[in-house]
Structure 1
Amino acid sequence: MGRAEAAAMIPGLALLWAAGLGDAAPNLPRLRLSFQELQAQHGVRTFRLERTCCYEALLVDEERGRLFVGAENHVASLSLDNISKRAKKLAWPAPVEWREECNWAGKDIGTECMNFVKLLHTYNHTHLLACGTGAFHPTCAFVEVGHRLEEPMLRLDLKKLEDGKGKSPYDPRHRAASVLVGEELYSGVAADLMGRDFTIFRSLGQNPSLRTEPHDSRWLNEPKFVKVFWIPESENPDDDKIYFFFRESAVEAAPAMGRMTVSRVGQICRNDLGGQRSLVNKWTTFLKARLVCSVPGVEGDTHFDQLQDVFLLTSRDRQTPLLYAVFSTSSGVFQGSAVCVYSMNDVRRAFLGPFAHKEGPTHQWVSYQGRVPYPRPGMCPSKTFGTFSSTKDFPDDVIQFARNHPLMYNPVLPVGGRPLFLQVGAGYTFTQIAADRVAAADGHYDVLFIGTDVGTVLKVISVPKGSRPNSEGLLLEELQVFEGSATITSMQISSKRHQLYVTSPSAVAQIALHRCTTLGRACAECCLARDPYCAWDGSACTRFQPTAKRRFRRQDIRNGDPSTLCSGDSSHPALLERKVLGVENGSAFLECEPRSLQAQVEWTFHRAGEVAHTQVLAEERLERTARGLLLRRLRRQDSGVYLCVAVEQGFSRPLCRLVLHVLSAVQAERLARAEEAAAPAPPGPKLWYRDFLQLVEPGGGGGANSLRMCRPQPGPRPQPGPHSVAAESRRKGRNRRMHASELRAERGPRSAAHW
């Protein structure tokens, strides 16, 4: 924790920055799809069990083609191709006596005294390890799943249960964070019934069980564990380490600042056996460092201090993965969430830096400047860095130093020094993250799927910005994967099947990683989408295939510039044309809604009999809305052709042409009489539409596109109902004799008459 970090903790400065950041508008997705649209067109699938909640544990098994789900009193096995079909479920309730004992302890028997399955890991070729709360009696079991794809199996032997203490939490409200390496389980859990003794615990396997020092706030101070990963350090397995990600109350915070939450990354060595005389059955290699995700500012940094989830994105070199983490903020000034990216080299560098040290209760935390014993605390006993074969051989001064100095002084900063992507004032909080590395025409890109607490998934792509290693996150899609506003509790990706699996307290959902056909029906629209999964193949926006011939794929993820790639494309859809009717002194709505929410709409006007096109400028009678242009107090000279153009990334494309005819009151009344005279014909917009065409376009018919809507296609959207011009005309006829002041008072925005 350096001087810059200490300065950033000063609340007054940080809140000044936060107040300014809180005024920022949230990022808009390019495409927003509701649950109904996903269900109708894009194959979102859901799974739920009757009278069951709390779907939290997810395990993707590509080899068996199964998705294993842990929930309240159940383990389910679902098909990765379609979670709604071929589902198998296994009931695993807590014993009646455990539930009664839980109820006697003051817990709610209907909501807490159940077996909430929190942990699922692949144990071997035929079994899973499953652990649950067991009505506040943590318990584990080995679930037989077989190895044949044709006949999925799901069987549990209730006679061979294992004690789940130190593996699963007692309380269903607590998250479980664990990783199974070989036959050893590394967990971050509360090891007692009251939820006060939080520990990092190793169990199962051949090595002795180890844990952190209990009730020592320097080691762990009311932590909330988030994720655990096994990451190799070198080619020598003796150097392998386990990394824990959690948040906790900061022991290094000044007393005047009160309680402060910070995010952490902790490390332990896999071959740690504990100490010989001190730290017996305790970790001797445990160290932790602060994980910083903040926006630098002149008045101080704005910190996103609440770590919510971490995703490990591996590459060919398993020793240097990227870590994508989502954070929220505990600030009362503004609501915001952020994604920060960390490199393993930066994490390892923090553990090699100076230790944090405090002389006494009245002293500040400083960088330790004294002699550090050998071997350096935190180093694994191996031939790579020394001659010690076991932590039991470490000298006493090494063990004592490790016990008193678990905290590192320097924090781990994100790649680029700031968040990759953030949302402020969006009305939701990030809860989960998953990432996929995708091959595109101009390189590889990381696509992030971010879950929120309102049941939506954000699809964000990381693209280079300026010089390396700076990148920025672009929000491509916002998907409402659950019908209600449910918190997303877990996410997993099947890269092989291009599917995303998401859980909430009430259900499991499955959605494809891409929806190429939704991005547009023209080369420019497909290119502007900047989705690395998709490319223009000459006739449609389809799934990008890296092995396809280059001349048949058009894609520009880095810049999203279609001007060059699509210059020779002749497959543009026909320009939509629509006729709109208005009455003098009334209102007309010119509807034009681009599919992309990131596009800006510009309007030009061409009056009949004139050559020049003029830009529609803002004035008192005109109001721009997200769905079009509202004209009030219409005049006859407003008649003409209005062209709606979408501008995105500097590229413009016409969306539709709207022909506005403004009728006088006399013409409108004549139209009303014609409508009333056509009595046996059924009422509807087509009758007055025909009469109106005879009135303003003798012998005309309107054309094939006259009834098409200037709306994004494809995708069902609610259509506005037709408005009767005859009714408008009759009202105008009654009011023609009104006093001028009364007429002016009556004017205002009215419904548009459109077809």
Structure 2
Amino acid sequence: MSPLAVLCVLCGLFQAPALSEVGTRGCKPRKSVPFDNGSIKLFREKGVWDYSTMLLREDLGLLFLGGREAVFVLDIRDISSKKTQVYWQVTDEKQIECTYKGKNAETECRNYIRVLHKVDDDRMYVCGTNAFSPTCGHMTYAKGRLTLEETLEEGKGKCPFDPVQRHSSIMIDGDLYSATSMNFLGSEPVVLRSSLIAIRTEFKSTWLNEPVFVHMDLVRESEGSSEGDDDKVYMFFSENAVEYDFPNKLMVSRVAARLQGGLGWSADTAEEPSLPYMIQDVFLLQHSDWRKSIFYAVFTPQSGSADLSAVCAYSVTAIGDVFSKGRYKTPVTVETSHVKWVMYSGELPVPRPGACINNAARKQGIKYSLDLPDKTLQFVRDRPLMDEAVQPLNGGPQLLKRGPMFTRIAVDRVTALDGHSYDVMFIGTENGFVQKAVNYDGEMFIIEEVQLLQHPEPIKTLRLSAVTGQLYAGSETAAVQMALSDCGRYSSCLDCVLARDPYCAWQPTAALCTAVSSTHNSNRTLIQSLIDGNASLCPSSEGVSPESYTLIPGNNIRLQCQPDSNLAEVRWFFNDQPLRPSDAKYFLYGEGIMILNASAADSGLYVCQAVERVKGRQYPRTLAAYQLQPGEGDPELPPTETPSTEAPPTKSTTETPSTTPKLLDVGPTFLALSSNEHGKLIAMQVSVALLSLLLVALLTWNVFQGNLPFLGCYGARPQTSSGPGQTQSSPPNFNSRQVPFQAKVSAERKLLVTPSNCNTSNNHFSEELTSNHNLPPGAVSSLDVFKYINDESEI
């Protein structure tokens, strides 16, 4: 038995004010990809929950997925394809015993798979909570069948009792290293090595004080060591700090290291006067030279008042230097009868406390930590904390972002066309998204955010396979698979280059965005610019053909234009002249523009551009163009010239409407139609006429019965709920190809109000307009002034 020495505080020691001052500018994802079953693979089994334990077997091409009372074997390339499964349910006796102890029979008193590790080629080690009676065993996979062996063993110290309690474990050379709780109440934390010689930590509050275990990983530091150093197991966790004079509980994040060939743990920590951020997950990005390996860690605030999440990176050598060269803390008793921790300045015993057993120590006959002199062991027992903190790379967080909290992280190292390697971070969030981000020379760039789950829920597990190029995520209700890159999302050269995705590059000859790894010898013809985002390398493209529609004087006309990049600024031009946000004639919002009270003077060419800025350069793209022509009742209107819509580079359209638009009159609302819809005019007119007669008859009957008194006579209050002739508080889901909307309203109540869920933060032009409140005279804030008619089925 040997003491656990607690280790260094990480990025969580940043002061909260300092994190706030860093700011989050530039941390908006460039693209937001909504939930789409066509781009992701999803697995769920009826009656099974909590898909939070994963074991990737790339050697078998399989993913072993642990859930509540079940382990599934899935195809690693398509997890929606289930190979087989084994169910491991609790017995009735165990469930009854669990309920007698005050636990819920349907939720807590079940068997949640929490440990799943590879032992050899066809065997896995598995542990479950088993109704607050943790149990472990072996599973075999052979000939397409998964079998749970009958011989089971007690899982105390290997698997948590409580399914919601955080834990960590790792299997190394047949030995299980675990960090969890040893008792039913979860009040006795333990760090355990299960092998022929079982080793565990003593229970002492100065070593483990209500810890939350997060992650364990192995670093092969013995490779290439001239001093005969040993491999190390690093453990990350948070706990209540004993070294601070704080009125309430103060959690700090720590890392501990254990010599894999030894029998004990060595220690480290640091001091900080403000509330530290809490570590949530860790990913080890391994390098062929272990000295270049990096730990990536996710942090969130321990107070609910902040909404900042951070990602920090730590060099393995920097952590090792704090252990081997750092100073220690020591407890001293002061007159106020409490213990104060200060830096130790006395003489150090030999060998150095917490140092690895190397060749020099072995020459003295010290092969294990139990062989260490009593002075060294006693020093570690009394002084488990280090005085210095491990500093993150670049001196601060790699990523700092407001919004939904980060939960998990996985990192892939990608070699780009410029020959440099870039670390691509995939970060899970509490609302079911994964954010894909890269740090380019200190500039954090979020390439995209992908919605993995249809309904918001936390990402509990992330696993990455560089072999298959896939990311696997687990949550309470499902397991999801997504590709590390989907270059097909980028429709043009400009879009592809500005994405700054190291996986993707533009292929000019094929005119598509392609994966870099699959191009082999054609790399010289590809266009990619990650550091600078230089899209001027792209060839020029053709302009957008304008869509032609008829303008009805006195109506409000809606022209649709929604950028495909959250970083783009939308600009509108009328006959080659920019529209001013201060002009009350126009109303801009997230999905387009509304021309208020249109007149004959408003006929002409409207062009919508999206402009992205990178490194001080602007890159415009034409997204849409509309040619509004006067109606037949305006012979005095002069013909309108058609300016060019060329803008380098541009986006082409898939359909060019006829230059002879038709107009459908449907009573109080008008809808402009292109010529391919002309064949439905007669049927629609008849339908509208019949519907109008029916509504008039119904209205007359209700008035006659006294159910609907005239508002003007009886002074009835206007209704606030939506109904026929009113606009709902949420806008309809417009298709990407939709004709402009025109609404006929009375002269004294012409108005357009921005839909409540418009994402104006993606449109800087509309932000400025909204902040200036540029609405026409007499505008009110209600949404029931006019109604949409999106297609013929709504008439």
- How many Å apart are 1:508 and its aligned residue? 0.7
Corresponding position: 1:111 with 2:75: no
The amino acid across from 1:369 in the alignment is: S
Task: Tell me which of 174, 190, 195 is aligned to 2:181.
Answer: 190
CA distance in 2, matches of 1:371, 1:190: 36
The amino acid across from 1:519 in the alignment is: Y
CA distance in 1, matches of 2:354, 2:741: 79
- How many Å apart are 1:506 and its aligned residue? 0.8
Corresponding position: 1:180 with 2:197: no
CA contact (8 A) 1:304 1:328 kept: no
Task: Tell me which of 619, 638, 641 is aligned to 2:583.
Answer: 619
CA distance in 1, matches of 2:298, 2:749: 63
Task: Tell me which of 542, 545, 550 is aligned to 2:523.
Answer: 550
What is the aligned residue count? 658
Task: Tell me which of 619, 643, 650 is aligned to 1:651.
Answer: 619
Instruction: Map 1:287-326; keep pairs closer than 5 Å.
Output: 287-290=267-270, 305-326=277-298
CA contact (8 A) 2:313 2:398 kept: yes
What TM-score comes out, normalization by structure 1 length? 0.80
Instruction: Map 1:60-209; keep pairs closer than 5 Å.
Output: 60-146=56-142, 151-158=143-150, 160-203=151-194, 205-206=195-196, 208-209=197-198
CA distance in 1, matches of 2:33, 2:381: 53
CA distance in 2, matches of 1:245, 1:341: 14
CA distance in 1, matches of 2:748, 2:350: 99
Corresponding position: 1:639 with 2:615: no
In the alignment, which residue of structure 1 is the partner of 2:241?
Answer: 250
SS class of match (1:346): helix
Give the direction of change, closer, same or farther, for the CA distance of 1:556–1:429 in structure 2 (3 Å limit): same
Task: Tell me which of 558, 576, 579 is aligned to 2:548.
Answer: 579
The amino acid across from 2:31 in the alignment is: L
Give the direction of change, closer, same or farther, for the CA distance of 1:112–1:645 in structure 2 (3 Å limit): same
In the alignment, which residue of structure 2 is the partner of 1:599?
Answer: 568
Task: Tell me which of 558, 565, 574 is aligned to 1:589.
Answer: 558
CA contact (8 A) 2:664 2:672 kept: no
CA distance in 2, matches of 1:384, 1:541: 57
In the alignment, which residue of structure 1 is the partner of 2:470?
Answer: 499
- How many Å apart are 1:498 and its aligned residue? 0.8
Instruction: Map 1:24-39; keep pairs closer than 5 Å.
Output: 27-35=27-35, 38-39=36-37
CA distance in 1, matches of 2:358, 2:17: 49
Corresponding position: 1:439 with 2:398: no
Task: Tell me which of 532, 539, 542 is aligned to 2:502.
Answer: 532
In the alignment, which residue of structure 2 is the partner of 1:211?
Answer: 200
CA contact (8 A) 1:118 1:175 kept: no
Q: Which moved more, 1:622-631 or 1:429-438?
A: 622-631
The amino acid across from 2:267 in the alignment is: L
In the alignment, which residue of structure 1 is the partner of 2:352?
Answer: 376
CA distance in 1, matches of 2:246, 2:748: 77
For structure 1, the 5+ residue unaligned runs are 274-282, 293-299, 465-470, 607-611, 692-715, 736-742
The amino acid across from 2:744 in the alignment is: E
In the alignment, which residue of structure 2 is the partner of 1:704?
Answer: none
Provide Cα deviations, 1:170-222, integer angstroms capped at 9, x if missing partner: 1011123011110111111011111001111111x33x2122220x2211111
CA distance in 2, matches of 1:250, 1:582: 70
In the alignment, which residue of structure 2 is the partner of 1:609?
Answer: none
- How many Å apart are 1:642 and its aligned residue? 2.1
CA distance in 2, matches of 1:291, 1:61: 41
Corresponding position: 1:418 with 2:396: yes
Corresponding position: 1:490 with 2:461: yes
SS class of match (2:47): coil
- How many Å apart are 1:117 and its aligned residue? 0.4
CA contact (8 A) 2:208 2:239 kept: yes
For structure 2, the 5+ residue unaligned runs are 1-8, 637-659, 680-732, 751-775
The amino acid across from 1:341 in the alignment is: A
The amino acid across from 2:367 in the alignment is: S
CA contact (8 A) 2:64 2:73 kept: yes
Q: Which moved more, 1:612-621 or 1:376-385?
A: 612-621
CA contact (8 A) 2:271 2:387 kept: no
- How many Å apart are 1:655 and its aligned residue? 2.0
Corresponding position: 1:357 with 2:374: no
Give the direction of change, closer, same or farther, for the CA distance of 1:654–1:179 in structure 2 (3 Å limit): same
CA distance in 2, matches of 1:169, 1:403: 26
CA distance in 2, matches of 1:260, 1:664: 75
Instruction: Map 1:582-731; keep pairs closer than 5 Å.
Output: 582-606=551-575, 613-614=577-578, 616-648=580-612, 649=614, 650-661=618-629, 685-686=673-674, 718-719=735-736, 728=744
Task: Tell me which of 368, 372, 380 is aligned to 1:402.
Answer: 380
The amino acid across from 1:656 in the alignment is: A
CA distance in 2, matches of 1:551, 1:97: 68
CA contact (8 A) 1:588 1:752 kept: no
Give the root-mean-square deviation of aligned CA atoms.
Answer: 3.4
- How many Å apart are 1:598 and its aligned residue? 1.0
CA distance in 1, matches of 2:129, 2:595: 62
CA distance in 1, matches of 2:570, 2:259: 58
Corresponding position: 1:229 with 2:217: yes
In the alignment, which residue of structure 2 is the partner of 1:269?
Answer: 259
CA contact (8 A) 2:116 2:126 kept: yes
Q: Which moved more, 1:584-593 or 1:335-344?
A: 584-593
- How many Å apart are 1:383 and its aligned residue? 1.2
The amino acid across from 1:365 in the alignment is: W
SS class of match (1:423): strand
Q: Which moved more, 1:445-454 or 1:362-371?
A: 362-371
- How many Å apart are 1:19 and its aligned residue? 6.8
In the alignment, which residue of structure 2 is the partner of 1:347?
Answer: 319
- How many Å apart are 1:422 and its aligned residue? 1.6
- How many Å apart are 1:505 and its aligned residue? 0.7
The amino acid across from 1:558 in the alignment is: I
